Chain A
Amino acid sequence: MSENPTPEIIEPTASAPRVRAGKISSRRIEHYVAPLEETPLQSVDKVDETATPLSMWAQAWRSLRTQPLFIISAALILLVIAVAAFPGLFTSTSPTSCSLEFARQGPSAGHPLGFTFQGCDIYARIMYGAQASVLVGLFTTIAVVVFGGILGALAGYYGGWLDAILARLADIFFALPLILGAIIIMQLPAFRENRSIWTVIITLAIFGWPQMARITRGAVIEAKSSDYVMASRSLGLSKFKTLVKHVVPNSLAPVIVVSTISLGIYIVAEATLSFLGLGLPPSIMSWGNDIASAQISVRNNPEILMWPALALSITVLSFIMLGDAVRDALDPKSRKG
Chain B
Amino acid sequence: MILFTFKRFLQLIPVFFGATLLVYFLVFATPGDPIAALSGGKPMSPAVESALRAQYNLDQPFWVQYFLYLKNLVTFDLGQTFSGQPVADVIARAMPVTARLAVMALAIEAFFGIIFGVIAGLKKGKLFDSTVLVASLIVIAVPTFVLGFVLQFIVGVKLDWAKPTVGSTAPWGDLILPATVLGLVSLAYVLRLTRTSIIENKQADYVRTATAKGLSRRRVVMVHILRNSLIPVVTFLGADLGTLMGGAIVTEGIFNVPGIGNLVYQAVLKGETPTVVAVVSVLVVVFVIANLVVDLLYAWLDPRIRLV
Contact = CB atoms under 8 A, between A and B. Distances in A.
A contacting B, Cβ–Cβ less than 8 Å: yes
Chain A: interface secondary structure? helix
A171 to B, nearest CB: 4
Nearest to A159: B308
Contacts of B224: 16
B214 A15 contact: no
B155 interface: no
Contacts of A15: 204-206, 228, 304
A175 B283 contact: yes
A215 interface: yes
Contacts of B250: 272
Nearest to B149: A298
B15 A215 contact: no
A115 B237 CA distance: 41
Interface stretch (B21-29, B35-43, B173-181): B21-29
B203 A334 contact: yes
A218 B231 contact: yes
Interface stretch (B84-92, B95-103, B239-247): B239-247
A245 interface: no
Chain B: interface secondary structure? helix
A180 B153 CA distance: 31
B186 to A, nearest CB: 10
B143 interface: yes
Contact of A292 (B143, B231, B238): B143
Given A15-B205, A312-B141, A327 B196 contact: yes
A176 B280 contact: yes
B222 interface: no
Contacts of B305: 221-222, 225
A159 B295 CA distance: 12
B71 interface: no
A181 B26 contact: yes
B226 interface: no
A175 B286 CA distance: 9
B268 A214 contact: no
A171 B215 contact: no
A253 interface: yes
Interface string A1-23: 11000001011111111000011
Q: Which residue, A256, A294, A317, has most C-beta atoms of chain B within 10 A? A: A317
Interface in B126-158: 133, 136-138, 140-143, 145-146, 149-150, 153
Contacts of A1: 202-203
Interface in B170-223: 185, 188-189, 192-193, 196-197, 199-200, 202-206, 208-210, 212-216, 219
Contacts of A265: 140, 185
Nearest to B247: A178
Interface string A200-218: 0000000000110011011
B140 A264 contact: yes
Contacts of A17: 303-304
B75 interface: no
Contacts of B149: 295, 298
B243 to A, nearest CB: 7
Nearest to A288: B143
Contact of A316 (B27, B30, B140, B197): B140
Contacts of A11: 205
Given A218-B232, A258-B193, A171 B291 contact: yes
A60 interface: no
Nearest to B304: A225
Q: Which residue, A16, A215, A299, has most C-beta atoms of chain B within 10 A? A: A16
Contacts of A198: none
Nearest to A29: B214
A214 B140 contact: no
A244 interface: no
B242 to A, nearest CB: 5
A172 B15 contact: yes
B214 A168 contact: no
Contacts of A187: 29-31
Interface string B226-264: 001001101110110011001101100000000000001
Interface string B49-72: 000000000000000000000000
Given A180-B276, A316-B137, 13 more contacts: A16-B205, A17-B303, A164-B11, A172-B19, A174-B246, A175-B280, A180-B23, A180-B30, A219-B231, A219-B232, A298-B150, A305-B142, A333-B203
Closest 8 CB pairs of A and B: A25-B214, A218-B235, A16-B206, A254-B232, A175-B283, A225-B304, A333-B203, A264-B140
Interface of B: 7, 11, 14-15, 18-19, 22-23, 26-27, 29-31, 133, 136-138, 140-143, 145-146, 149-150, 153, 185, 188-189, 192-193, 196-197, 199-200, 202-206, 208-210, 212-216, 219, 224, 228, 231-232, 234-236, 238-239, 242-243, 246-247, 249-250, 264-265, 268-269, 276, 280-281, 283-284, 286-288, 291, 294, 298, 302-306, 308
10 contacts: A11-B205, A167-B291, A174-B287, A221-B231, A226-B304, A261-B188, A265-B140, A305-B142, A316-B141, A317-B133
